[in-house]
């Protein structure tokens, strides 16, 4: 079976790249959000929320029932975004990750 997932690029009306994000299958039924980023000048305009919603919708359409991710423990904006969208803390799911540095989060789709 070919890899499943999606990577999105977000551009403004002038065609300038303003953000990105993707997901891939981590294990059966579970996807992982990767490389979510919104340029500082584009923040505060709901672009992160839109990217996250599109990624989750696509994963759900592909038959996944959970999504998880890692983000920096000090990245307050990212943590707030994910928690506002139903992600809850889970134990680290990658070997060698320090929960003081990386936070793992998960949500049902």
> H helices within 5-98, ranges in order?
47-61, 76-84
pLDDT at 1 over 50: no
Q: Which domain holds residue 101?
A: 5-108
pLDDT at 86 over 80: yes
Alpha carbon 13 to chain centroid, angstroms: 24
Other Cβ atoms closer than 10 A to 79: 17
CATH number assigned to the domain comprising residue 54? 3.40.630.30
pLDDT at 83 over 70: yes
0.85 exceeded by pTM = yes
In this structure, are residues 107 and 66 in contact, taking their beta carbons and an 8 Å threshold?
yes
Query: How many independent structural domains does the chain possess?
Result: 1
What is the average pLDDT score of the chain?
Answer: 94
The 10s digit of each residue's pLDDT in 33-77 is: 999 999 999 999 999 999 999 999 999 999 999 999 999 999 999
């Amino acid at each position: 079976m070919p890899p499943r997932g999606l990577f999105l690029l977000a551009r403004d009306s002038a065609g300038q790249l303003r953000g990105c994000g993707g997901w891939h299958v981590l294990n059966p039924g579970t996807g992982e959000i990767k490389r979510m980023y919104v340029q500082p000048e584009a923040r505060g305009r709901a672009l992160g929320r839109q990217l996250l919603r599109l990624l989750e919708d696509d994963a759900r359409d592909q038959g996944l029932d959970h999504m998880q991710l890692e983000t920096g423990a000090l990245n307050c904006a990212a943590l707030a975004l994910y928690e506002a969208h139903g992600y809850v803390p889970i134990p680290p799911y990658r070997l060698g990750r320090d929960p003081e540095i990386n936070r793992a989060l998960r949500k049902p789709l």
